[in-house]
Amino acid sequence: MEKKMKLETRAVHAGDRKRTGSWMPVTTPIHTATSYFYEDIADLDKAFDGTIAGPSYSRHGNPTNDALEELITSLEEGAGALACASGMAALHLALMAALVDRRRVILAASALYGATINLLMTVVEPSGAAVVFADFSDEEALVAAIEEHRPGVLLMETISNPILRVAPLDRIAVLAKEAGAQLIVDSTFSTPLITRPMEFGANFVVHSLTKYLSGHGDVLGGVVVADEAGLGPLRTLAKSIGPVLGPFEAYLTMRGIKSFPLRMERQCANACRMAGWLATHPAVERVYFPSDPKHPDAASIKRLFAPGLYGAMVSFEIKGAARPEVFRFMNALEMIVPATSLGDVQTMVLYPAMSSHRDLSPKHRARLGIHDSLVRMSVGIEAVEDIIADVDRALKA
């Protein structure tokens, strides 16, 4: 697939239609085999060591997964990708690959998904890597932190979960390179349609496939996209650890990606409408959304994001609310789904204090700006008027 083709075209065609003799399937088949053999055993030997293309054992590679990885590599314009069993597995693998031959110090953005913070503190740090947090939106403080801690890895999100901060990815990539550190970017919230971190110098990009890319609430998966230097360690670790995605999930993800640009454009447009409407509602204290001209990271957003696209996540604080009032609001919703995910075709709401950042202490959440009145909304593809009506009814309940 030629890179000059637009992302929307690559989403439909990349990875599919591998020729088998004189014919080829229109879509990639689901290859359920765990092992493969060849007419000549010497060819299996070559497949194992990579001198010829072809599968050997599904922990090493599966034709369905290979197609998905080719597709996502094309979207992110990396050197290669590895599909994993979950987004957290993908992030953990990226951290391990990035730390190979590097100082075992991770400088992480303070604004991160709660499960990511938990992974760093309860899994990565006890395994022997030091973890330090810093405000990645404060360039001066970040430079000082890099100079003090000399990290081997920098970790950030394109759009932070759930306050929707947007750190200056392009400048951070330069700082990482100057420090000899690897930059890992979780780009789940922005997707390749809005920004592609590798274009700015990221070494690894991670997505939860569960979210926008598959988009229908029926896949648990993740993916790591790597640059040329990182791809070898990534695949070596994957062969040893085996965090691979199943072929059924790979197929469903590929099917979802074909319509992902259309879905994402609609979701972004709906989210803009929702954010504007919420900002005028008397029951809403504050709205967090990247299109706000007063957003603290407005300059970074203008540089990094595709024109007119700001993501489909909207967070807001209900005036005077604590846990009981937020629960009452969520229980009053009739169409919107109060579930612990995002990026599906349906609109979903989540209470970060209960779910995404549950493992953090109340004081830690407060330092991150995650108050007990905060609700996170993943805006879907429904008619925006119906989304607004449901939220309005629930806020008045």
Predicted confidence (pLDDT) at residue 28 exceeds the cutoff of 70: yes
Q: Is the dihedral of CA 343, 344, 345, 348 positive or negative?
A: negative
Tokens of 131: 């973890």
Predicted confidence (pLDDT) at residue 364 exceeds the cutoff of 90: no
Please compute, for residue 281, the number of CA atoms within 13 A of its CA located in the half-sphere on the CB side: 23
pLDDT for position 317: 97
pLDDT for position 3: 54
Answer with the residue of higher pLDDT: 181 or 3.
181
Task: Classify domain 260-395 by CATH number.
Answer: 3.90.1150.10
Predicted confidence (pLDDT) at residue 1 exceeds the cutoff of 60: no
57 is catalytic: no
Residue 193 CB coordination number (10 Å): 22
Q: For 354-379, what is the mean pLDDT?
A: 86
Q: Which of 41-50, 131-140, 209-218, 331-340 has the lowest mean pLDDT?
A: 41-50
- Tens of pLDDT, residue by residue over 245-261, are 999 999 999 999 999 99
End-to-end CA distance of the chain: 52
- Answer for the pair 388, 275: CB distance below 8 angstroms, yes or no: no
Q: Is the dihedral of CA 22, 26, 27, 32 positive or negative?
A: negative
- Active-site option among 16, 66, 165, 186: 186
Give the type of residue at 105: V
Q: Which residues contact 56 (CB under 8 A, 6 or more apart)?
A: 35, 36, 44, 47, 48
- Active-site option among 113, 212, 310, 351: 113
Distances (CA, A) of 328 to 145, 323, 352: 42, 9, 15
- Active-site option among 38, 46, 59, 102: 59
Beta bridge partner(s), residue 20 = 23
Q: Which of 96-100, 325-329, 362-366 has the lowest mean pLDDT?
A: 362-366
Predicted confidence (pLDDT) at residue 359 exceeds the cutoff of 60: yes
Distances (CA, A) of 11 to 163, 256, 259, 363: 29, 9, 8, 42
- What beta strand segments (E) does the chain contain? 80-84, 105-109, 130-134, 153-157, 182-186, 204-208, 222-226, 284-288, 313-318, 348-350, 374-378
Predicted confidence (pLDDT) at residue 55 exceeds the cutoff of 90: no
Pairing of strands 348-350, 374-378: antiparallel
Q: For 79-86, what is the mean pLDDT?
A: 97
Q: Tell me the DSSP string of 223-262.
A: EEEE-HHHHHHHHHHHHHH--BPPHHHHHHHHHHHHHHHH
- Answer for the pair 183, 154: CB distance below 8 angstroms, yes or no: yes
pLDDT for position 366: 81
Please provide the average confidence, as pLDDT, over all residues in the chain. 94
Tokens of 332: 């009053």
- Give dist(CA 239, CA 95) in Å, integer: 16
pLDDT for position 203: 98
- Tens of pLDDT, residue by residue over 165-177, are 999 999 999 999 9
Answer with the residue of higher pLDDT: 279 or 19.
279
> Residue 90: enclosing H or E segment and its boundaries?
helix 87-98
Tokens of 272: 């803009």
- Give dist(CA 379, CA 327) in Å, integer: 19
372 is catalytic: no
Beta bridge partner(s), residue 313 = 378
113 is catalytic: yes
- Give dist(CA 357, CA 347) in Å, integer: 20
- Active-site option among 10, 165, 196, 211: 211
Predicted confidence (pLDDT) at residue 19 exceeds the cutoff of 90: no
Cis peptide before 162 (omega within 30 of 0): yes
Predicted confidence (pLDDT) at residue 303 exceeds the cutoff of 90: yes
